[in-house]
């Protein structure tokens, strides 16, 4: 059974425990004792990316691989917002535009006072994703830290 299978079946916590335990077993066989936290940090880096399943109304693309933090920030950005379906008689809002509830309320109030057609909206849809497990080399090279990438492997690629 592969770590990817464990991730798909049991989830991120189970695969993290599995990898840490397997690596620790190798070191223990050699008589080397290393605190789990060191391996947990590495495994966390290996699991910091997600693949976009459905982009919803976010700026992501389907099958795009992004940092988990970036994914959560983008979903937080559109949370509670509305997507204009029909701009009605509004000169300020366009179909597909993402707006706050306050901006929508202000625009519709102005339109109603003038007996014009109000803006129609729907709730903004957040992106969905699947956790991915990167290899240690890809995780190190894919970091935003120049020093981390340069100090690992393939140093010439980092400097090119």
Domain extent listing, the chain: 3-72+127-148, 80-123
Q: Which fold has domain 3-72+127-148?
A: PTS-regulatory domain, PRD (1.10.1790)
The owner of tokens 């894919």 is: 142
| C-alpha triplet 39, 42, 48: angle, nearest 5° | 135
pLDDT value of position 46: 87
Name the token pair of 99.
């707006």
Token pair recorded at residue 156: 């010439």
Beta bridge partners of residue 131, listed in sequence order: 50
Q: What is the mean pLDDT of each run of 10 residues along the chain (160 residues)?
A: 87 90 89 88 89 97 95 97 96 95 96 96 97 77 60 52
Rounded to a whole number, what is the largest CA-CA distance in the chain?
Answer: 81
Partners of residue 107 on adjacent β-strands = none
Burial environment of residue 65 by CB neighbours within 10 A (0 to 12, 13 to 18, 19 or more): middle
- Token pair of 30, please? 């050699």
Q: What is the reported pLDDT for 33?
A: 87
Helix axes 12-29 and 36-46, enclosed angle (nearest 10) = 130
Which of left, alpha, beta for 124 (phi over 0: left; psi -120 to 50: alpha)? beta
Q: What is d(CA 90, CA 45) in angstroms, rounded to the nearest whole number?
A: 47
């Amino acid at each position: 059974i592969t770590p990817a299978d464990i991730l798909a079946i049991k989830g991120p916590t189970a695969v993290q425990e599995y990898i840490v335990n397997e690596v620790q077993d190798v070191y223990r066989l050699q008589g080397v004792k290393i605190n789990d936290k060191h391996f947990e940090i590495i495994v966390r880096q290996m699991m910091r990316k997600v693949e976009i399943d459905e982009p919803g109304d976010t700026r992501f693309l389907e099958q795009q691989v992004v940092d988990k933090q970036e994914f959560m920030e983008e979903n937080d950005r559109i949370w509670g917002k509305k997507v204009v379906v029909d701009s009605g008689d509004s000169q300020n809002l366009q179909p597909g535009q993402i707006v706050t509830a306050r901006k929508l309320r202000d625009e519709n109030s102005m339109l109603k006072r003038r007996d014009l057609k109000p803006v129609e909206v729907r709730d903004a849809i957040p992106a969905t994703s699947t956790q991915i497990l990167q290899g240690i080399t890809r995780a190190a090279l894919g970091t935003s830290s120049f020093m981390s990438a340069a100090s690992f492997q393939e140093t010439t690629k980092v400097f090119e």
